[in-house]
Homo-oligomer: A and B are copies of this chain.
Amino acid sequence: MRILVANANTTEAITTLCAEAARGAAAPGTTIIPATPRFGPAVIATRLENAIAGHALLELLAGHAGQVDAAVLAVSHDTALEAARQLMPCPVVGMTEAACLTACMVGARFGLVTLGGVETYRELIGRHGLAARLAGLEGVAATPQDALRDPAAVEVLVLEGVGRLVAAGADAVVLGGAALAGMAARLAAPVPLLDGIACAVKLAEALVGLGLARPRAGSLAPAQGRVSTGLSPALARLLRGA
């Protein structure tokens, strides 16, 4: 099984980090294929960067359509997730989505720890329809760069956030942020910690195993005969549905 791990920002170090976490979680027969967009923001920290990265990520995915069995979005904002599902002929899983859905299977309510602000994660969880399962959000005072450079220091802060979320009623905690990929396995916490990339890889494998047919109706049915201008050849072709 071939799983594309598609970063949505242009920082190769993040792609590499996520690919490593993905390989650590993948089943024996699964091959991880990392990919980085051609254009867009170096890091996605705000709404503006996230909206731009959506196009970059879709172009990246389009270039792999038909060549992979599933795609994992290695971006904690689950950027352009529904659009990617409509685009691709294979299952697509977002890393935060995957961690939240997994959290729902190991706890009643879950929390989320991330680096920096929490508001866009609150919205994301609301968009996924999971607000009723959310016990709280904790933003740690550190940047993705800090996490890459001095992970031990960031781990201390993350564990403090986990503690506050457990006190607030969380039965499980999602680590949100591509820069935290792989960290959960190194931490000892009183409740399960969920790594977005690991969860996404396992859920992608599960979806491939189910072998569901692609929809012919509904809001995720493939585009047919849609005209466009100035897009990459692969993306334009998938819009045409040819």
Contacts and interface: CB of A to CB of B under 8 A. Distances in A.
Interface residues of A, number: 89
A58 to B, nearest CB: 6
Interface string A171-187: 11000000000000000
State the copy count for this chain: 6
Interface in A107-143: 107-109, 117-120, 122-123, 126-133
Nearest to A139: B169
A34 interface: no
B46 A223 contact: yes
A40 interface: yes
Given A43-B226, A171-B219, 12 more contacts: A42-B226, A42-B228, A46-B86, A49-B226, A51-B55, A82-B108, A101-B101, A101-B104, A131-B132, A166-B217, A193-B212, A203-B206
Interface in A83-122: 83, 85-87, 91, 93, 97, 101-102, 104-109, 117-120, 122
B40 A228 contact: yes
A56 B235 CA distance: 14
Interface in A31-49: 38-43, 45-49
Given A91-B106, A107-B215, A170-B218, A198 B227 contact: no
A170 B119 CA distance: 9
A182 to B, nearest CB: 13
Contacts of A49: 223, 226, 228, 239
A191 interface: yes
A202 interface: yes
A219 B55 contact: no
Given A27-B209, A83-B47, A206-B206, A220 B39 contact: no
A102 B93 CA distance: 11
A154 B49 CA distance: 38
A209 B25 contact: yes
